[in-house]
Structure 1
């Protein structure tokens, strides 16, 4: 039976363009109610036939046709219109049965009128329900005035069946009202479950979006962008900038297909990403084969020059192991040059689309020049970085080294042994 009911639902909803939860609920409730009333109307008509209540027979026959037809018309007509027409029809039907079965206070079908306004409200809207409510009140008052005038209502069936008729009518009213409310409750719960599912999906999507945002921006910058739609540029006085670049990248990459090149770069940069995160640095961006990271930006980042140098040492050690693996397998490998400088930078987000968190300033430019004068597998630092780390790492002075557009700059090599470790 459930399968048949589902097919009827599908038929009634097939031309309905509005597939909102509330719309589906109304349509299903409409169909269910029409089916219940049709079944009850048929049984009521059969009973009326056996007790000789002719009015009950022909009105129930009309009702069966009317409510069955409404399921078909629902596919083509607006549910609000059909729901209102059902309300009007129900008033007429109840008035007819009441009139020919003894009047308002004698007829066993009188209580059925109470079901009409809430039914119309569930299926249509407040405006239609209020109209039906007032019509029901006028209907009751109309019968009341007729009673006061002494009108003698006909009773077209035997008094011996009155009690049975009343009991069955009350039972039918209770059952149909229960079935309607049960259907409504089930549909409401279905709608609630659907809403909760949508909310869960929305939260999941929101989390994925926030995770993606945090992969692109530092947390505090991401929060600022979400709240204001922009992020102010800020000056940071003591930032250590790390540049890593591949030696002879162009010539090495000529023997690789684009997918192979991207895959190999990803393998290298994935390792560097892990190391940068481990030491608490902020990855700024990759530029082709170059990698830019920093300690001390944004404001919440507390990484210092020591952390940056530690990360640089681990990068070179990790790349050396990977290089040996590549050599053993006869594959191409990359050697990184690393340059580090400490100084003030401006950090922020520029542009209106495709936001990018970036850093600017002479300290950044100098770090790039220091990287250019470094050597594969080595870490080259400026004098300002040297003063920050000299008590922690063995450094080898290089003297003044010419740098493009910067003249001669005092530089140092960093060795991969900390002073404390050497003294043990």
Structure 2
């Protein structure tokens, strides 16, 4: 049996962060078992979408998840896979919200951030407990983009970096949101709201003013 060792390698990866909105409000009045069942049902649905598009779930933290496209196995279209997964995740949440409404439960929102960059990927932790994961500025930016979905004026459920769109082979409808400063970088990063595929219906709460990006 081959021994698993600490260490990593540099590789280009597309990182997706998603986080539920208003889940605390939904969980009020629920017993812990029911709350956990709802959360596990949500994660099962989202993880299935990530895996369907060739990604892997790196970790769950509370009601958030982090997924990787390009590690441990890379594909030429990792950016597209991540973008398609994000769009399907938002659609799936809309369907789950309908189910929860029928049970007289509050609905929840989601924020998703996606970035592509060179990161360090490998087994990290202690010699007794290792986890395969990725670290680096590219990961931090993806997390920050997810946080930016909370910005009211953006009105965006999915925010992606220009680096990810530059790698995408499909054409997507997007709305340019501006630029964000990245720690340690002199040139700011362009960010965009992801509205859908070019021939896909725009979600009702998103602007019709979009730019076709290839």
TM-score between the two structures when normalised by the length of structure 2: 0.80
For the 8 Å contact 2:113–2:142, the answer to whether it is kept is yes
> Following the alignment from structure 1 to structure 2, what is the Cα–Cα distance between the partners of residues 292 and 230?
23
Equivalent position to 1:319, from 93, 106, 125: 93
Cα pair distance change 1:411/1:229, threshold 3 Å: closer
Q: 1:366 deviation in Å?
A: 0.4
> Following the alignment from structure 1 to structure 2, what is the Cα–Cα distance between the partners of residues 243 and 277?
15
Q: 1:288 deviation in Å?
A: 1.2
For the 8 Å contact 1:346–1:360, the answer to whether it is kept is yes
Instruction: In structure 1, list runs of 5 or more residues that go unmatched.
Output: 1-225
> Following the alignment from structure 2 to structure 1, what is the Cα–Cα distance between the partners of residues 163 and 134?
18
> Following the alignment from structure 1 to structure 2, what is the Cα–Cα distance between the partners of residues 400 and 239?
21
Structure 1, residues 51-107: CA drift from partner, whole Å, max 9, x if none? Answer: xxxxxxxxxxxxxxxxxxxxxxxxxxxxxxxxxxxxxxxxxxxxxxxxxxxxxxxxx
**RMSD after superposition:** 2.9
Match of 1:284 in 2: 58
Match of 2:74 in 1: 301
Residues 1:371 and 2:150 are matched in the alignment: no
> Following the alignment from structure 1 to structure 2, what is the Cα–Cα distance between the partners of residues 266 and 405?
37
Instruction: In structure 2, list runs of 5 or more residues that go unmatched.
Output: 203-214
> Following the alignment from structure 2 to structure 1, what is the Cα–Cα distance between the partners of residues 201 and 130?
43
Equivalent position to 1:337, from 107, 111, 123: 111
Equivalent position to 1:393, from 161, 172, 181: 172
Cα pair distance change 1:253/1:403, threshold 3 Å: farther
Q: 1:398 deviation in Å?
A: 0.8
Residues 1:235 and 2:10 are matched in the alignment: yes
For the 8 Å contact 1:373–1:403, the answer to whether it is kept is no
Q: 1:257 deviation in Å?
A: 2.5
> Following the alignment from structure 1 to structure 2, what is the Cα–Cα distance between the partners of residues 405 and 233?
22
> Following the alignment from structure 1 to structure 2, what is the Cα–Cα distance between the partners of residues 405 and 246?
29
Match of 2:195 in 1: 415
Structure 1, residues 142-164: CA drift from partner, whole Å, max 9, x if none? Answer: xxxxxxxxxxxxxxxxxxxxxxx
For the 8 Å contact 2:25–2:106, the answer to whether it is kept is no
> Following the alignment from structure 1 to structure 2, what is the Cα–Cα distance between the partners of residues 319 and 404?
32
Q: 1:403 deviation in Å?
A: 8.0
Larger Rg over CA atoms: 1
Cα pair distance change 1:295/1:413, threshold 3 Å: same
Cα pair distance change 1:265/1:400, threshold 3 Å: same
Q: Relative to total residues, which structure has the larger helix share, 1 or 2? A: 1
> Following the alignment from structure 1 to structure 2, what is the Cα–Cα distance between the partners of residues 274 and 377?
23
Structure 1, residues 307-349: CA drift from partner, whole Å, max 9, x if none? Answer: 1000110000011111112112212333110000010111111
> Following the alignment from structure 1 to structure 2, what is the Cα–Cα distance between the partners of residues 405 and 289?
29
Greater RCO structure (CA 8 Å; 6+ sep): 2
> Following the alignment from structure 2 to structure 1, what is the Cα–Cα distance between the partners of residues 82 and 131?
22
Runs of 4+, deviation exceeding 6 Å: 402-408
Secondary structure of residue in 2 paired with 1:367: helix
Please list, as runs of the form range in 1=range in 2, the aligned pairs for 1:9-408 lying within 5 A after superposition: 226-236=1-11, 238-298=12-72, 300-302=73-75, 304-350=78-124, 351-375=126-150, 378-389=157-168, 391-401=170-180
